[in-house]
Structure 1
């Protein structure tokens, strides 16, 4: 096994064992090279591999730090935010920014197959994991879908509430793109303006093919990632 891979594995094990905590600066390349008794080039190769894997994070002018583990979402099906967080050992929560009934926009009518006279519930939420803001979400749902649900059921765990009311969830169509955070979103998610954002647009369907949810979500790039599985 190449020496840099051995060093990579040792540093990774040390992080898992708690030698360095999330957000903590690790020793300099010079110090680590001396500790492992290798050249700085070999040590740099090991560190770069850890950076590429998202385990370490370089900050210009500050050093190399243990990166915060990103929340992952598998791009398949209609898994709820709550389920994703719980599956990764994190405590999910939401903070409602706005919640009101309204006439659907042209885009909302098209995606949800509504007519102009229909009403929708439009809500804006910040979704958190262990009290850390992960994303800003705008959700639009036809009123006829949620008329028998309480505000708490809708804002805390919408999918679970629907299933308890007898709705069977189907598939989802998702589109992911990148953008820079606006001033509003930066303030809501506690990040710098112009930070990298992953934008997800999702239309979610019931098992009978009826669209019931149109979501526009902006995820903090350094805290979240999507992955595909074939």
Structure 2
């Protein structure tokens, strides 16, 4: 296990044990570096790992805070994946197309407020689209995104949203907290994916984070079982 992973695990245990409570600020990076006898770079990597897990977040100029929903995220850790690369990135040399079913804006409901760490008065985009790979249905996406992140148009949605955010808007995406499960196809799945009612579908529900730990996307992607699989690499040496 690398040094930053040991530190990350140590801080995580302190949070779970109540040494740092929800909403509380952690010691600054200089203090943590002194406590763990290491460099600020190593501390920064340890904090980044906790951000990706959805346990802490940072505020520029204010420090690193324990998320109020960290217990829920810890409960879900067994089914989480942390690389929100997007369909275009994960399928190079393939033809990726999108059919936009919905692009709207409204105020967030309570769950969306909690997941995205926003207030009831901060509007969000409601996005629904079907993704195709080489002309075949790949997924049906339902996404909630704060309108403050960037201007999202149908033109943007027909291509890679992550590419648009990172390359054109200067946003740095850091990681995601994912839950993977199976479900039965709904009537919306029948229309969007072309599956049969009650067919099994793969569902990935995720919250994605910016570099400072702020959530910018709360989404659910649904995949037909015939073309779906989850691949995870497990390194027993770390």
- TM normalised by structure 1 equals 0.64
Q: 1:212 aligns with which of 201, 206, 216?
A: 216
Could you report, residue by residue, the CA deviation over 1:62-103 in whole angstroms, capped at 9, with x for unpaired residues? Answer: xxxxxxxxxxxx9441111111222xx421111111110111
C-alpha separation in 2, matches of 1:150 and 1:217: 20
With over 3 angstroms needed to count, the CA separation of the structure-2 counterparts of 1:208 and 1:105, relative to structure 1, is: same
In the TM superposition, what is the alpha-carbon distance from 1:130 to its structure 2 partner? 1.0
Aligned twin of 2:204 = 200
Look up the match of 1:163: 166
| Partners of 1:190 and 1:137 in 2: CA distance | 14
> What is the match of residue 119 of structure 2?
115
Q: Quick one: distance in 2 between partners of 1:158 and 1:119?
A: 18
Gaps of 5+ in 1: 1-73
Q: 1:23-172, aligned counterparts within 5 Å?
A: 75-86=81-92, 89-147=93-151, 149-164=152-167, 165-172=169-176
**Superposition RMSD in Å:** 1.6
Cα displacement string for residues 115-162 of structure 1 (whole angstroms, at most 9, x for unaligned residues)? 011100111011111111111110111010023x54322442111111
Alpha-carbon distance in 1 for matches of 2:107, 2:198: 31
Q: How many residues align?
A: 154
TM-aligned CA deviation for residue 194 of structure 1: 1.4
Are residues 155 and 102 of structure 1, via their aligned partners in 2, closer, same or farther at CA, if it must alter by over 3 Å? Answer: farther
Q: Equivalents in 1 of 2:101, 2:189: separation in Å? A: 11
- Residues 154 and 96 of structure 1: is their aligned pair in 2 closer, same or farther, counting only changes over 3 Å? closer
Kindly state the Cα deviation for residue 109 of structure 1 after the two structures are TM-superposed: 0.7
Distance in 1, matches of 2:94 and 2:230, equals 17
Task: Give 5+ residue unaligned stretches, structure 2.
Answer: 1-79
Q: In the alignment, which of 196, 217, 222 is matched to residue 226 of structure 2?
A: 222
Q: How far 1:195 moved relative to its partner?
A: 1.1
The answer (yes or no) to whether the contact 1:136–1:188 under 8 Å persists in 2 is yes
Query: Which of 170, 185, 191 matches 1:187?
Result: 191
